[in-house]
Amino acid sequence: MLPNRNMNYYTHSNFLCKFVLCTSFLLLCLQSVSGQRPFQNCGSPKGKVFNLTLTPCPPGPKCVIKRGENITMQLEFTPNEDSNGLTAVVHGLIGPLPVPFPLPQPDACKSSGITCPVQTGKNYKYYTTLPVLESYPKIRVTVQLELQDDQKKDVSCIQFPLVIQ
């Protein structure tokens, strides 16, 4: 009877390991196909960010963009307070040094999918296209994207890794 218990335990453990590995692989594949990216919240006291999509980004753990191309960012968030306007601010963090990446349209209420004023508790999708200029160096950088309210307070602040080639 003891060998059967050990055999059942071994079979159950083996099945459980395979199930966990297959499920993890499937979730990773779904995330890669959708273009959703992991991001780090760097302080969003006036809102909640729940999704970031980058286009074009090949499947995998990092987003690689070639100089001369554009990157489109879509940020889904919910503000915790009403605001009459939003301003988008983008920096590349190279070590401790924030280097500004100028946006063609920093007013997040114009041509970005958002109609201002923004309201508390309502879900919004902000999108913008950022040109990756030929003059940018080939570098791994952490991108910081902030949406600031009309009083220059962060509604959202996220960071994500980017490789410029």
The tens digit of pLDDT for each residue in 20-49 reads 333 333 333 334 334 566 888 998 889 999
Query: Are 71 and 115 in a shared domain?
Result: yes
**Does 23 lie in the same domain as 43?**
no
75 and 147, same domain (yes or no): yes
Looking at the fold, whether 14 and 71 belong to one and the same domain comes out as no
CA angle 156, 158, 161 (to 5 degrees): 165
Claim to verify: residue 52 and residue 90 sit in the same structural domain: yes
User: What's the first-to-final CA gap in the chain, in angstroms?
Assistant: 62
Based on the domain organization, do 148 and 130 belong to the same domain?
A: yes
Which pLDDT tens digit goes with each residue over 67-125?
A: 999 999 999 999 999 999 999 999 999 988 999 988 889 999 999 999 999 999 999 99
**1 is in which domain, residue-wise?**
1-34
Residue 134 sits in a domain of what CATH number? 2.60.40.770
Pair (96, 107) in one structural domain: yes
Residues 77 and 23 in one domain: no
11 shares a domain with 43 = no
> Domain check: are 58 and 16 in the same one?
no
Beta-ladder partners of 48: 78
Question: Is the domain of 72 the same as that of 12?
Answer: no
pLDDT at 39: 85
Residues 77, 119 within the same domain: yes
The Cα 156–Cα 165 span in angstroms is: 28
Q: pTM (2 decimals)?
A: 0.74
Instruction: Report how many domains make up the chain.
Output: 2
